[in-house]
Amino acid sequence: MFENTEKQERALLLSLDTGEYDAETSLAELGELTRTAGAEPAFTLLQKRPAPDAATCLGSGMAEEAAELVKREELDLVVFDRELSPTQIRNLEKLCGVRVIDRTTLILDIFAQRAASKEGKLQVELAQLRYLLPRLSGQGASMSRLGGGIGTRGPGETKLETDRRHIRRRIDSLKEQLRDVEAARGVIEKRRRKNGTVTVALVGYTNAGKSTLMNRLTQAGVLAEDKLFATLDPTARALKLPSGKTVMLIDTVGLIRRLPHHLVEAFKSTLEQAAAADILLNICDASSPEAGEHLRVTEELLQSLRKGNQEDFSRPVIPVLNKWDAVEEPEFALRIPGAVRISALHGEGIDELLKAIEENLPEKTFDVELLLPFSKSGLAAKLREEGAVLSEEYVAEGLRLTARVGDRLYAAVREFDIDPQRNSSQ
């Protein structure tokens, strides 16, 4: 058996606190991202300034201090906790003598490692190229992609030295391929809705335990690691509720503060699929002091995805406080209305969660047998579009069919129900 002798990169993490957000919390999160990418966050430096410096983002004194630390400790990498311009990257690399990457590049690198499906790989490459296109001119060591290391991986790595025109053509090709994938998924989603299949999406901050919960509920065998973005590609599995009703459970990519907009755009269709589910489980790590903030970050992104969509997005959202067995101050839950407390790892609270799902199920569907006069052919089209036609047969009196409908759709066709008893009871 061959051993992996690749040396783990040691990184210096840099942060600039301008008061826009909690810089210390974000820097701690950057450390987790760095570990997830495969490097060791060896040192951190944080500077408070009213605004970023145009040349190096940090002030000149702090930039020199960072360069000395890199050389003295023989570090391999500098990771900056904000998006840098090509000029800032080039200047910092010249000072430090090692590769410099920003938060966006780091997250893109993690996504490149995690993408497994065709759609996931297409989405990651599209995000990488969109981010790199305006940055191709004048980049320093980061343009040398043959050396490997964090920030150099991904489907697009061999294309980064090519000209802008070629990259634009590649972006157009990726968009077209993604449209095909999205169209195929749209057909499946439409079929689910016509068949009355209810979808329940697991959404939430990365590393909140969504995949562990998915495995607990459905034995799906989804990768569940104590790492950020352990799940990138959506997974769908059937879940049978205690009442006997079966719903489709969807596990989605985890979210994070300041998720790069290139990724949000590339993964928009996947995230919109989750936002459009009939029920959303907003899962957070209840043992984290940032749990409330994590719930808010997820809700804000879901709201942004709903804007401008013509559908009714008043879907029920159930806050799920996972890892409850590790919570030191249980009164935390009292401040979150409707929250369900669980431990996906140990199975605690799962019955309460299933009950909450059942209580929030959308309009119930049922099968009816109808006889539509030939003059009412428009109703048959409405049944095909909004319900599910299970069988149909032309007879002398008109069209006899069996359809799966909800209460609202049934109200439009009830006078043609062959079963007089149901007609009078509805």
Residue whose token pair is 């210390």: 24
Which amino acid, residue 246? T
Size of the chain, expressed as the number of residues it contains: 426
Query: Looking at the predicted structure, is the pLDDT value of residue 158 above 60?
Result: no
Which carries the bigger pLDDT value, residue 322 or residue 224?
322
Q: Which residues contact 410 (CB under 8 A, 6 or more apart)?
A: 366, 368, 417, 426
Please tell me the least confidently modeled range out of 41-50, 176-185, 226-235, 367-376.
226-235
Please tell me the least confidently modeled range out of 111-115, 210-214, 332-336, 397-401.
332-336
Please tell me the least confidently modeled range out of 141-150, 202-211, 213-222, 282-291.
141-150
Query: Looking at the predicted structure, is the pLDDT value of residue 13 above 90?
Result: yes
CB 110 within 8 A of CB 38: no
Put simply, whether the predicted model's pTM sits higher than 0.95 gets the answer no
Predicted pLDDT of residue 1? 39
Predicted pLDDT of residue 144? 45
Please tell me the least confidently modeled range out of 16-30, 115-129, 216-230.
216-230
The encoded tokens of residue 60 equal: 């000149």
Q: What is the Cα–Cα distance from 262 to 152, expressed in whole angstroms? A: 17
Predicted pLDDT of residue 194? 62
CB 112 within 8 A of CB 158: no
Q: What is the Cα–Cα distance from 49 to 219, expressed in whole angstroms? A: 50
Q: What is the mean pLDDT of residues 146-151?
A: 57
Predicted pLDDT of residue 386? 74
Please tell me the least confidently modeled range out of 47-61, 226-240, 360-374.
226-240
Q: What is the Cα–Cα distance from 352 to 76, expressed in whole angstroms? A: 49
Burial status of residue 324 (CB atoms within 10 A of its CB: 0-12, 13-18, 19 or more): buried
Question: Over the chain, what is the mean pLDDT?
Answer: 81
Cα–Cα distance list, 104 to 186, 336, 364 (Å)? 30, 31, 44
Please tell me the least confidently modeled range out of 21-35, 88-102, 185-199, 220-234.
220-234
The encoded tokens of residue 53 equal: 């410096």
CB 33 within 8 A of CB 41: no
Query: Looking at the predicted structure, is the pLDDT value of residue 140 above 50?
Result: no
Tens-place pLDDT, residues 308-362: 554 445 678 999 999 998 887 766 555 788 899 999 999 999 999 999 998 898 8
Residue 142 banded pLDDT, cuts 50, 70, 90: very low
The encoded tokens of residue 375 equal: 């003059």
- Helices 268-275 and 291-306 cross at an angle (nearest 10°) of 100
Tens-place pLDDT, residues 411-424: 889 899 987 666 55
User: What proportion of the chain, given as a percentage, has pLDDT over 90?
Assistant: 33
Cα-based angle 412, 416, 421 (whole degrees, multiple of 5) = 105
Query: Looking at the predicted structure, is the pLDDT value of residue 62 above 90?
Result: yes
Burial status of residue 46 (CB atoms within 10 A of its CB: 0-12, 13-18, 19 or more): middle
Which carries the bigger pLDDT value, residue 116 or residue 62?
62
Predicted pLDDT of residue 341? 93
CB 405 within 8 A of CB 365: yes
